[in-house]
Amino acid sequence: MALKKSIKKTKNGIHIDNKSIDNISDEADDVADQYDALDGSKWDKAYTDGWKAATHNKETAALKRRMISFKKSAEGKALKQQMIELKQAIKKNLKVTDIPKSW
């Protein structure tokens, strides 16, 4: 709730007031503590078993083989090159200017 109460939409995106950061941090710590409490519980075991069932099967193995094939294909190599060029263009042409001096 602290994050939801602290976010304000502006014409440039969103704004989070610096005074709210402590409340948001406290709430995030509370959520982390709740996740830690689940560690080793029956819910943790059920989630782990479900994840294993979803990722260790024939379909997942086939998807992995197809991903490797795509990576080695001409199309995959072209996509990789385009992503490298995009990263370089962003690094060269994008400048973030409204960073608070306190950062």
Q: For the chain, give the mean pLDDT.
A: 91
For the chain, the domain total comes to 1
Buried b (16+ CB within 10 A) or exposed e, 61-70: eeeeeeeeee
List pLDDT tens digits, range 22-31: 888 888 899 9
In the structure, what pLDDT confidence band is assigned to residue 9 with cuts at 50, 70 and 90? confident
CA-based radius of gyration for the chain: 22
List pLDDT tens digits, range 50-70: 999 999 999 999 999 999 999
Residue 58 within a domain: no
Residue 20 within a domain: yes
Residue 14 within a domain: yes
What integer pLDDT is reported at residue 71 of this predicted model? 97
Residue of 97 and 62 predicted with greater confidence? 62
